[in-house]
Structure 1
Amino acid sequence: MKDYAGEAHTVKTTITASTDEAAQYIRDGHLTVFPTETVYGLGADALNADAVKEIFRAKSRPSDNPLIVHVADREGVEAVARSITPAADALLEAFAPGPITLVLPVAERVPRDVTAGLDTVGVRIPSLPLAQEFLQACDTPVAAPSANRSGRPSPTTWRAAYEDLVGRVPCILRGGRTDAGIESTVVDVTSDVPTVLRPGAVSLERLREVVPNIEMVADDSDVPKSPGTKHRHYAPDAKVIIVDDPGEADAGAVHGYIGVDKPAVPAAFAKVYVAPSVEAYGRELFHFLRECDGLGCRAVFAQSVPENGLGRAVMDRLRRAASR
């Protein structure tokens, strides 16, 4: 265990590798940052309204942005959802534990602070063994958005979460770099036609292999059922500029470049990442954006990819990061 404290901060932030120690903070009504296979989450007891409110304060998160509840197993899903539809059953069987969030009718016991006042709740079962161990130790559903300041790129390392939240949270559970590097896919299964509200680590094509009539949401609602769809998200300090071809990227000592094709003169950029696949692009995207901020980059040029498979989620994140 290692403790960090800063003069400008109000909360002592403890870094620990112990899931029992991290879970004790949750059981005591406090916040804990913890890893999942997608990104790091900022957790609180989902059944404790006062604890949930602390998530919004720590992140400076708008209160109309619903949270996802993380549970260890199917029994946990049943504890926070009023009912589970046949489509939800099929998706749980195929993809859970894993990077999929299902929007279901919310149980009465879940505070409406979690759902932003909606009568639905997003719930998922992480697959990362460390997350599973942590959630089992918590012995309660854990509400958790990504562990970053609101609007920033999601953290894929505990150090990235620490940079954003030191002094704002009492505990960070130290794990490794996340595997997916991009958030879960959110699927609304409350109607006859299930709808993908947020593309993520499970592609639409894979979902349709299990539930063929799943559709993409037509547009963003003013009252979103999913996080990551209404407010500005995923944006670094640097300006993100989407380009179709590397030749459109302006090389420079204060510019970064990320894409699947190599720029003409990589050495002319402050930082370059050429992804060997779209999957690698998604895995590295948030980490790369944060690294560019660390180098003081003023702009990051990001190459577009076809919007199929994981490319749909990559482009969703890029467009939101590029919006100002």
Structure 2
Amino acid sequence: MITQRTDDPEKAARWLRAGDCVAFPTETVYGLGANALNADAVAKIFEAKGRPADNPLIVHVASVEQVEQVAQNLSSAAWALLRAFSPGPLTCVVHKRDDVPEVTTAGLDTVGVRIPSLPVAQAFLTACAVPVAAPSANQSGRPSPTTWEAVRYDLDGRIRGILIGPQSPTGIESTVIDTTTRPPVVLRPGAVSVEEARRVVPDLTIADSVEQEKRSPGTRHRHYAPDATVELASAAEAVPGAEAAFLGLNAPTQSGSWGHVVLARDLPDYAARLYAALRQFDAEDLARIVCEPVEPTGLGRALMDRLRRAAGHASGETPSDAAAEADEAP
């Protein structure tokens, strides 16, 4: 298969409506989309990515009005969150309609729904005129792609096409909130902070068990991981080396040389540059990547979740804890 590229959302939508997989940009990461109501098309996503079939997909639509194409019996919390943060990096887990195929939801009776804000994503989804199931557009286990070039590197020859757009400005996947429970539960921290969401739903809680997280797209099977070993260490603790890279907010202080140092301006810049930096360090054949931890509040909660998973640790655990299993979804 020859993977075609276009910057025309209408052309990319025609490929998708024909039953093919199409990668497209969002404000979080690039997604790999297929018609969410076409089981055969959705199955191509799993084949292209090498994604485990027990991992549910997020369904993307162009507007709040379209949510009920795949969802039913939405709670007041779901409507409040969707109206407050959509379009944007929020996924609400809601009760699915009966005509949503099991392959899309991994057999669950719920579905995650999101409305991306990036203009090219909006144009693409509007042109598709069907709900679009999409995890991140990478081979399963790799860092999520934030550029179309990263998509091409992972999936060239595996999918019909790539809709070319800008680098994803947020760089961290959406926040996933299960609104079918009382109280609603944050299943995956993301670009909408817990603190922001609680201003809309004050009784919001955070998942405290693996069983809760299994209801979320993007929290099964280890992912976010480059080929290099990822370590978490402060700027003062980071051990330099010619084979090592450092990524963080503050310059490392120990004497010695580094293979590559990337310093972010602030927390949003750190999040936006994370996946691209991990991929760049792999391309440079660096053996170690040292990432500086941040305070796990606000956006830092989501960033620390991704850093811990990249380092092979379960979300919420310290670097000495057991390895996590997760997979990606925009």
TM-score in same-fold range (> 0.5): yes
Instruction: State which of 93, 103, 123 in structure 2 corresponds to 1:103.
Output: 93
**Partner in structure 2 of residue 306 of structure 1:** 295
Structure 2 CA distance for aligned equivalents of residues 221 and 257 of structure 1:
34
User: Given that residues 176 and 216 in structure 2 are in contact (C-alpha distance below 8 angstroms), is that contact kept between their aligned partners in structure 1?
Assistant: yes
The residue type equivalent to 1:22 in the other structure is A
Shift of 1:248: 2.0
CA 222–191 in structure 1, closer or farther in 2 if over 3 Å, else same: closer
**Partner in structure 1 of residue 204 of structure 2:** 214
Structure 2 CA distance for aligned equivalents of residues 247 and 90 of structure 1:
43
CA 266–120 in structure 1, closer or farther in 2 if over 3 Å, else same: farther
* Structure 1 residues 76-126: Cα deviation after superposition (integer angstroms, max 9, x where no partner): 211100121100111111100000000000101100101000000000000
Is 1:274–2:258 an aligned residue pair? Answer: no
Taking structure 1 as the reference length, the TM-score comes to: 0.94
Structure 2 CA distance for aligned equivalents of residues 187 and 173 of structure 1:
28
User: Given that residues 253 and 269 in structure 1 are in contact (C-alpha distance below 8 angstroms), is that contact kept between their aligned partners in structure 2?
Assistant: yes
3-state DSSP class of the match of 1:107? Answer: coil
Structure 1 CA distance for aligned equivalents of residues 150 and 295 of structure 2:
29
Instruction: State which of 238, 258, 261 in structure 2 corresponds to 1:249.
Output: 238
Shift of 1:292: 0.3
Shift of 1:266: 8.9
Structure 2 CA distance for aligned equivalents of residues 76 and 253 of structure 1:
52
3-state DSSP class of the match of 1:257? Answer: strand
User: Given that residues 188 and 213 in structure 2 are in contact (C-alpha distance below 8 angstroms), is that contact kept between their aligned partners in structure 1?
Assistant: no
* Structure 1 residues 229-281: Cα deviation after superposition (integer angstroms, max 9, x where no partner): 121010001111011x2132221221111111111269821221122211111
Is 1:88–2:78 an aligned residue pair? Answer: yes
**Partner in structure 1 of residue 225 of structure 2:** 235
Is 1:180–2:170 an aligned residue pair? Answer: yes
**Partner in structure 1 of residue 39 of structure 2:** 49
The residue type equivalent to 1:297 in the other structure is L
The residue type equivalent to 2:134 in the other structure is A
Q: Which runs of 4+ in 1 moved over 4 A?
A: none
Taking structure 2 as the reference length, the TM-score comes to: 0.93
Is 1:12–2:20 an aligned residue pair? Answer: no
Is 1:163–2:153 an aligned residue pair? Answer: yes
User: Given that residues 222 and 230 in structure 1 are in contact (C-alpha distance below 8 angstroms), is that contact kept between their aligned partners in structure 2?
Assistant: no
The equivalences for 1:123-138 within 5 A come to 123-138=113-128
**Partner in structure 2 of residue 78 of structure 1:** 68
The residue type equivalent to 1:273 in the other structure is V
**Partner in structure 2 of residue 7 of structure 1:** none
User: Given that residues 266 and 272 in structure 1 are in contact (C-alpha distance below 8 angstroms), is that contact kept between their aligned partners in structure 2?
Assistant: no
User: Given that residues 112 and 217 in structure 2 are in contact (C-alpha distance below 8 angstroms), is that contact kept between their aligned partners in structure 1?
Assistant: no
3-state DSSP class of the match of 1:253? Answer: strand
Shift of 1:228: 2.2
CA 151–261 in structure 1, closer or farther in 2 if over 3 Å, else same: same
**Superposition RMSD in Å:** 1.3
Shift of 1:186: 0.2
The residue type equivalent to 2:157 in the other structure is G
3-state DSSP class of the match of 1:221? Answer: helix
Identity percentage of aligned residues: 53
CA 255–132 in structure 1, closer or farther in 2 if over 3 Å, else same: same
How many aligned positions are there? 313
User: Given that residues 220 and 230 in structure 1 are in contact (C-alpha distance below 8 angstroms), is that contact kept between their aligned partners in structure 2?
Assistant: no
